[in-house]
Amino acid sequence: MPPDWNVDTQETESTFVETRNAYQPRISDSMRRHVISVLVLNQPGVLSRVSGLFSRRGFNIDSLAVGPTEDIDLSRITVTVQGDHSLVDQMVQQLYKLICVQKVLVLEAGQAVERQLVLVKVRADSQSRDAVMRVVDIFRARIVDVARETLTVEITGEEDKIAALLGLLTDYGIIELVRTGGIALQRGPGDIRQSMQTP
């Protein structure tokens, strides 16, 4: 069984911090990362209306992921944004002005389960292949394609885990990379429709 990616050893913790900081710069308290979950009617043009709202208002969006829910009449949009609380409050108020928006929930850090998927193609010749595979194994990622000079790796996890792995793979040479936006659900038995958050 491969070791846990956040195994509690001094060497691994040191590597994790260094690579995370190298790949993802520190942000101030006024520019924190926020995740906003938006329940919308499953209708044509909804995504363009929501994204158009962000564009018109000049909101700087890190990622946006959309997909169906357990209700065929509803879709969920997960938005990741950098900013202060006043920016998030403004976004929520603007979203509620759209008729297609049914519910908006700001998922606070520690109160949600968040994941994203990354596919990364990395250089891995005969000399570096074993080392790359060990790194992939430590982070419990998966190799999904093998070529003579490259490996394609799939990793699912939280932002910090992904940033740490990408920081290490950068040393071997990342050829190309694609990632989904983050998706998230609040922890516990509640759901977005039961949330007491109001605009």
**pLDDT tens column, 129-183:** 999 999 999 999 999 999 999 999 999 999 899 999 999 999 999 999 999 989 9
CA distance 82 to 88: 9
The tokens describing 79, both together, are 């938005």
**pLDDT tens column, 43-68:** 999 999 999 998 888 888 899 999 99
Domains of the chain: 29-108+189-194 (3.30.70.260)
**Model confidence at 85, in pLDDT bands (50, 70, 90)?**
confident
Mean pLDDT score across all residues of the chain: 84
- What is the model's pTM? 0.74
Give CA separation, 109 vs 34, 36, 49, 80, 198, in Å.
8, 11, 27, 12, 19
